């Protein structure tokens, strides 16, 4: 990927908007970004979190595609992006990558559909527990108190992940912290009692 161009982002930067032409693909090297979908009302639900080493924008492998979601930086970070023309040239040299990228694009669309269904099912506690456990599996680190998730998510971010009001997320997280299930820290949060979260997510 000698033609890849480095780029940097800060929290809140809009990397691309839903509906824009999908004309480049990128790998996140450091930091985290979120993919959101426009939704009636004041807030847009978060459909996916993308972490270090993951690919975004794989729909650029297909000509004429538009972005299925907004891509917004959650933290400071950097990555490398490859323009669509350079991507197409790479795929001609490495045709075996074609099916892989297309599968990733299809999987992403399917995952978005499943997430939209999840947002309409179960209680807020159920959805929030599932989100926290998923993040623990994806980026969690062993900690003396449980599993540390190094993501500085606001209560608004969590509300967007589960599709509810910020006030509801604050109420649930405050109760869980009081009960020793979750501990919020400056640089993230600790899943102190995964068993309780598993029960809530069931």
Q: What is the pLDDT of residues 69-79, one digit of tens each?
A: 999 999 999 99
Closest CA to 201 of 124, 106, 140, 115: 124
44-69 tens-digit pLDDT? 889 889 999 988 988 777 777 889 89
Over residues 127-151, mean pLDDT: 93
**Quick check: 143 pLDDT over 70?**
yes
For the 5-118 domain, the top CATH level (class) is: mainly beta
12-38 tens-digit pLDDT? 999 999 999 999 999 999 999 999 988
Q: Which two tokens stand for residue 176?
A: 């869980």
pTM: 0.81
173-187 tens-digit pLDDT? 999 999 999 999 988
**Quick check: 197 pLDDT over 90?**
yes
**CATH topology for the 124-201 domain:** Arc Repressor Mutant, subunit A (1.10.10)
pLDDT at 109: 75
Distances (CA, A) of 173 to 21, 88, 124, 153: 38, 46, 11, 12
1, 90 Cβ separation under 8 angstroms? yes
5-118 and 124-201 share one fold: no
d(CA 24, CA 14): 15
Q: Which two tokens stand for residue 68?
A: 């299925």
Where along the chain do its domains lie?
5-118, 124-201
Lowest mean pLDDT of 93-97, 113-117, 126-130, 191-195, name the range: 113-117
């Amino acid at each position: 990927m000698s033609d890849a161009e480095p780029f940097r982002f800060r929290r809140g930067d809009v990397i691309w908007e839903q509906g824009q032409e999908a004309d480049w693909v990128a790998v996140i090297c450091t930091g985290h970004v979120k993919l959101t979908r426009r939704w009636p009302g004041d807030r847009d639900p978060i459909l996916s979190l993308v972490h270090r080493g993951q690919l975004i924008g794989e729909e650029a492998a297909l000509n004429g595609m538009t972005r299925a979601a907004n891509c917004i930086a959650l933290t400071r970070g950097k990555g490398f992006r490859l323009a669509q023309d350079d991507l197409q040239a790479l795929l001609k040299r490495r045709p075996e990558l074609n099916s892989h990228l297309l599968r990733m694009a299809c999987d992403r669309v399917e995952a978005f559909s499943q997430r939209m269904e999840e947002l309409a099912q179960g209680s807020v506690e159920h959805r929030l527990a599932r989100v926290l456990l998923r993040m623990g599996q994806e980026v969690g680190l062993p900690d003396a108190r449980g599993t540390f998730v190094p993501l500085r998510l606001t209560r608004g971010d969590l509300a967007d992940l589960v599709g509810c009001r910020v006030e509801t997320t604050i109420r649930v997280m405050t109760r869980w912290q009081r009960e020793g299930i979750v501990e919020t820290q400056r640089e993230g949060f600790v899943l102190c009692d995964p068993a309780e979260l598993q029960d809530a997510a069931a």
